[in-house]
Amino acid sequence: MHLTRELPESLLKFIQRRPGAILTKIRSEASRRRFFRIRFGRKSLVAMVYPGPALTEVERFRTVQEIYHGQGLRVPAIEAILDDRVVIQEDAGDLLLQRAWRLGRGKERGQLLNQCREIVLKLAAVPAELAAFRLDRARLKWEMEFFLKHFFPRFPVRGSIEAELGAMLKKLVDAMEPECVFAHRDFHSRNLLVKDSAIVMVDFQDSLLAPRYYDLVSLAFDSYLDLGRAREILLSGREWSGNERRQLSLTALQRNIKALGTFAYQTYECHYPAYARYVPRTLRHIQGHLRTLAEPEFNTLLKYFDSF
């Protein structure tokens, strides 16, 4: 299929004004948006294309990008907004942290995680009033219901009752402290690119206020990459109180359970089977969180997740 078929007229004109430009599609898996790399001369740009008119989303993307740049956080620069469907951005390459980690060695890996730790601190320091949305308890509970709807029916366990699990998952969310800070929201190794040894964040447009450790646990207990003992680099640089460690585990537990719901939905409803490969690692993370918490009120969750 020719790549230019069904592309917005604005993008076609942008390409035509650059003689010799080469257009290649960038794999974006489950995203509604499509991404294309445009090479001409020595320059390379990335076109982000929405499936239809999306003025609100484009404006949201521009606004959040400006917040990141204004706070000294590295995200691709916007070269041009062609219309309500097409945004032309800086090309940050295609070396995911997920892959860079596998290719790197101890020192290189440590440098990357130190960068990530500093980024998480900078994100949390962004003024809260700049965020347009909040990941509140209602949304967190909705994510637990999403898990029950899409993961639990596919992976039932004898003796585990949906209503009992649901009650425990609500208690989990209620145990999380409401304090919120600015967060990327999907701060994991597939949304972090490595360009010239520096971390560049992508897929940042849904940034909002989230529980304090949300971004930190998203990478520390990443479903796409097992950091092992190296995750302590992300947790270093501060003294953790007992309650802070508990909140870290509670947030990580909620985040990983939410991920299982997403993986089941993408695998069985959207027919992206590649997501199934990340379920076992996520389950191991969850089992670890529940053992670290060691709280009797979560025994129903432990019984269910320990069965895998």
Residues 233/117, Cβ–Cβ less than 8 Å:
yes
Q: Output the pLDDT for position 5.
A: 66
CA-to-CA separations, 62 to 9, 77, 88, 148, 233, in angstroms, rounded: 21, 10, 11, 35, 32
Strands 198-201 and 180-183, bridge-based pairing? unpaired
- Give CA–CA dist 39/51, Å, rounded: 22
**231-247 confidence digits (pLDDT tens):** 999 999 889 999 999 99
- 209: which strand partners? 134, 182
Q: What is the mean pLDDT of residues 284-296?
A: 97
Q: Output the pLDDT for position 2.
A: 60
Residues 151/223, Cβ–Cβ less than 8 Å:
no
Q: Output the pLDDT for position 96.
A: 97
Q: Output the pLDDT for position 1.
A: 41
Asked, colleague to colleague, whether 9-90 and 97-305 share their fold, the answer is: no
Q: Output the pLDDT for position 178.
A: 86
CATH top class, domain 97-305: alpha beta
DSSP per-residue letters across 55-95: HHHHHHHHHHHHHHHHTT---PPEEEE-SSSEEEEE---S-
The domain defined by 9-90 folds into Phosphorylase Kinase; domain 1 (3.30.200)
pTM: 0.95
Residues 234/195, Cβ–Cβ less than 8 Å:
no
Domain residue limits, the chain: 9-90, 97-305
User: What phi, psi does 305 have (nearest 5°)?
Assistant: -75, -25
For the chain, what is the mean pLDDT? 95
DSSP per-residue letters across 247-300: HHHHHHHHHHHHHHHHHHIIIIIS--GGGGGGHHHHHHHHHHHHHHH--GGGHH
Task: Convert 71-80 to b/e letters by CB count within 10 Å (16 or more is b).
Answer: eebbbbebbe
